[in-house]
Structure 1
Amino acid sequence: MNTSDWFEGIDRLRQRQGNAMDRLGLGARVTPSHVVASAPGLRLRCYGAGTAHCPPLLIVPAPIKRWYIWDLSPERSVVRKALAQGFGVYVIEWSAPPRTGGTLGLADYSGPMIDACVDAIARISACRRVFLCGHSLGGILAALYSAWRPERVAALALFEAPVNFNSTAPVVRRIAGTALLASVPRDRSRRIPGSVLSAIFANAAPGAFYAGPGIDFLASAVSPNHLATHLRVQRWALDELPMPRLLFDEAVALLFAQNSFMRGELVLGGVRLAPHQVTAPLLTLYRPFSSLAPPDTVLGFHGAAGSAHKVLLPYLGDVGVALQHVGPLVGDSAHLVVWPRVLDWLAQLSPVPRLVH
């Protein structure tokens, strides 16, 4: 048994732990949806087509864990909030690549794979453009796509998305130089088990992944609602996706280490990309004390983007989210304050008034 096989066994063990939590009623309570398109590495979920008068939302989750963090439970669902405001909502469900991983890399995930989803949405809704929303690595992919196909993005909303790595060399060194990564075969046609990815990022930001959930558990214990959300996030954290080795290597080298997108030197699919090519209205959420997406990694891109209309939202965090990094998607104040503002902003950018159902 090689190292990859051993870690894939860990993945299966964590999945069984997650299934046990499901049986205890701690699993996600997702909104009904159906798959409207699929391709190697992804499925496109439609939660509701909304109205053709308003560009629909296309949500780009991080391709590390499962999509349903955007739809964790009825009271902690970005999807449901958007549907209630009359938006069509589509979510990319990244799926596990073949065991060999194939040759899918950064250019695929930030270009043709998202583009295929926009094409599918256009066939359903007759809208050639989308409101693009992304969190974490999903936000990075959304930003790259917005630079590559600006004509297809009506607005871009990013949440804890660290696009500018100019000031994060220590974190980058911890990610790229970890012994865990060195123990996995370097064959770029293989995939990296999800448990390896989780361990790599946890070791790069131990406070966020080790101390943070314990502190949040204690703070949540006095509130049944907070505790329920905390445990659902912990269950979601067990639902890991393997990643193509090529995608990981290119993200670490081109984005994290070289900061090539911010420097205007990133070439994907033969096209050179830079922040000034992002021209859609831009909304950026950042956490002032984030260790996974420090303010400089977020604000640097926000300032460099070519968007004429920009909105910057600070977010201080919430109790009951387990991992503060996903607080913007599941936290109390996020759903009471942040998302109403985000959706109102998108509504104002709609070409005609929405028809709320």
Structure 2
Amino acid sequence: MSTRSWLLSLYPELVSIEIDLQLFAAEDEGRTEEPTEYKKRKAREEGQIPRSQELTAIIVFLIVFWAVSLIAAYLWRLFFSLFRFYLENILNFSFSSGNFSALYINMLWIVAQILLPIFLVAVVAAIISNALQGGFVFTTKRIQFNLAKIWGNIGKNFVRMFWSVETLFNMAKSLLKLVGVFSVAILFMLNRFGQLITLARMTVLESVEFLAVFIFQFVSTVGILLLVFAVVDYAFQRWNFIQSLKMTKQEIKEEFKEMEGNPEIKAKIREMQRRFLSQNLAREVPKADVVITNPTHIAVALKYDPHYMNAPVVIAKGEGPIAERIKALAKENDIYVIENKPLARSLYQLVDVGEEIPPEFFEAVARILSIVYQARGKSVVA
């Protein structure tokens, strides 16, 4: 029973409400089947991959914050150098003076030394966060303007803004984040309340050191808490993405027919089959003791080694062009090709490649192998 039918059975008055309850489940639209690899690949080519903007933002923020905290002394020295440079040259900054360009370049160089490490760390953090969420996808399909698609989905998208699983999830997540951050702030204040009271009696250096440690611990704790929420958000986005790609049974059938009927795919499959079969025949047929033919339509290659085989084994077989290929390989490798229509037909129909021949064929095959061994001057070992 679908979600809509179940709700209507409990609350008949909902019949008059114009809300699409199918926004809550793909199953209500008949999309019950997991998406195929082809559909996932096609969605990725169109730029559709599960991503959490929150996860990207929090990873970049935490890495940059921790990196800045690690090189804080270096950045402070540069900032102090910039401040001192400005005060020492404030009277020389004149557009009419000849040394304005040199002073300006020196000042920009100090600013670049401050900002460049932060910028590089932010870029690396962004690359890491995107790599963790499926890598980079470059496509122009996501930015193409499609007025028909926008206008056709405007009503559904408007309802989805207020009535969907994603909306409810984001609402619950926002409330939990607010409660979590507020709780962490209260715990930090209560845990360090005594030190905060005595902050006014500390020296300037002690106050700065205390506040730096306090801010670092508080921001790191809140950041890790938000990182947990971001990971949950990413898991939800992946689930929601898979739900959006789910297919009906009919869609799977149509996709299979489309792929099966695609001339390029069929040609590639046939080429792979031919290549594999050709390699297999070229490897196995030279090992045969004899090839039994129909004579023109069927060929069966047999091998028998009494030291480790209980009975002769079919190592290759085929009909039509494959049979011709087997006979050609047999001639190239000086393997006897013997015509026996009923035996060749029976072996081809009843024995698979790699199997021993059934007992009812022992006598007929033994006579053929005896002829082959005598022609080669070999003795038959029973």
| TM tier relative to shorter chain | under 0.3
**Structure with higher RCO (Cα < 8 A, 6+ apart):** 1
Higher helix share: 2
The two structures have a TM-score, normalised by structure 2, of 0.18
